[in-house]
Amino acid sequence: MSTLEEGISPTRIAVGSGFRTRFHFDRPGKVLEPVRDWSLGFITGHRTRIVLCMALAIVGLYLLQDFLWPVAVKPVTFADSLWGSASVVWLGAVIPGLLGLLGALSFRHPAHLDAVAPISQLVVFRIVTRGTNREAVASTIRRCAAEMERTPLFRYLVEIVIEDNPGVGDLPQGDTIRYLVIPRNYATANTSLYKARALQFALENSHIPDDAWLVHLDEETQPTSSGIKGIAQMIRKKRKAAGYERAKEPSSTTGTGRSTRS
């Protein structure tokens, strides 16, 4: 399975059970970010849709109120008074609703992903699965390879931690794919179960370098070109913050945190 685009010359080096790949980015075909929204300064399509939906919802609720209770009636019985007092219950949702609205209005799509530069670090996409949904596992493996062909910003490896039932013979194979098959009789020191057991097996048996960056994927979670750019940008930012790099980079922050041998 190829992991490279035209114009990128690779050098693969196998060291024992380890893995390294070096890319020379001569002139790779860049995958540009799609235009996801329009904007006029502070005003964006996303914010306009939120405000419009809020306004329509408020108008709709007032119309429904006028339809159900067209005439105000003075409470007479205790039940009427209790029903009238319940009209202030909605105040309990004001603060969380306001915070949610502010969060939704503050969201903006990343503006600098197309400026992300390649990094030299190895990134491992780790998929932990029981192996029962073979179609989903195979699709995610193929998607990782396909997206890395489109956006080869770093060296990568797809590592699948899978139960030994029914094996991996029918799943995709390749130089950038590695399977860690968990024996049926494997048990952790504390008899962990399920995903904890699988991750402990990977911790004990994976041979990826200690400085590799792990991206944990569920069997049906598939990366995108934007996600790959975000991962590369996040790694560069984290390394710069730790004093490893001094390169100038975009100001936005996107990506996932680093995970070490888990």
Confidence of residue 214 (pLDDT cuts 50, 70, 90): very high
Beta-bridge mates of residue 181: 162
Q: Which residue has the higher pLDDT, 135 or 25?
A: 135
Confidence of residue 71 (pLDDT cuts 50, 70, 90): confident
Confidence of residue 194 (pLDDT cuts 50, 70, 90): very high
Each residue of 239-255: pLDDT tens digit?
988 887 654 444 333 33
Q: What local confidence, expressed as pLDDT, does residue 242 receive?
A: 85
Q: What local confidence, expressed as pLDDT, does residue 99 receive?
A: 95
Asked whether residue 259 carries a pLDDT value surpassing 50, the answer given is no
Asked whether residue 261 carries a pLDDT value surpassing 90, the answer given is no
Q: What local confidence, expressed as pLDDT, does residue 84 receive?
A: 81
Confidence of residue 37 (pLDDT cuts 50, 70, 90): confident
Lowest-confidence pick of 70-79, 171-180, 196-205: 70-79
Residue 219: name the closest of 175, 162, 150 by CA: 162
DSSP string, the chain: -----TTEEEEEE--TT--EEEEEESS----PPP----EETTEEHHHHHHHHHHHHHHHHHHHHHHHH-SS-----SHHHHHHHHGGGGGGGGHHHHHHHHHHHHH----S-GGGPPP--SEEEEEEEE-S--HHHHHHHHHHHHHHHHH---SEEEEEEEEETTT-STTS---TTEEEEEEPTT---TT---HHHHHHHHHHHH----TT-EEEEE-TT----HHHHHHHHHHHHHHHHHTTS------S---S-------
Q: What are the backbone dihedrals phi and psi of residue 163, each rounded to the nearest 5 degrees, phi first?
A: -70, 150
Confidence of residue 15 (pLDDT cuts 50, 70, 90): very low
Helices 94-106, 45-68: axis angle to 10 degrees equals: 150
Confidence of residue 89 (pLDDT cuts 50, 70, 90): confident
Q: What local confidence, expressed as pLDDT, does residue 112 receive?
A: 82
Domains and CATH numbers, the chain: 8-34+118-241 (3.90.550), 46-106 (no CATH)
Q: What local confidence, expressed as pLDDT, does residue 5 receive?
A: 33
Q: Which residue has the higher pLDDT, 260 or 90?
A: 90
Confidence of residue 126 (pLDDT cuts 50, 70, 90): very high
Question: If you average pLDDT over every residue of the chain, what do you get?
Answer: 81
Each residue of 172-192: pLDDT tens digit?
999 999 999 999 999 999 999
Q: What local confidence, expressed as pLDDT, does residue 247 receive?
A: 46
- Mean pLDDT for the stretch of residues 151-159: 95
Q: Which residue has the higher pLDDT, 23 or 175?
A: 175
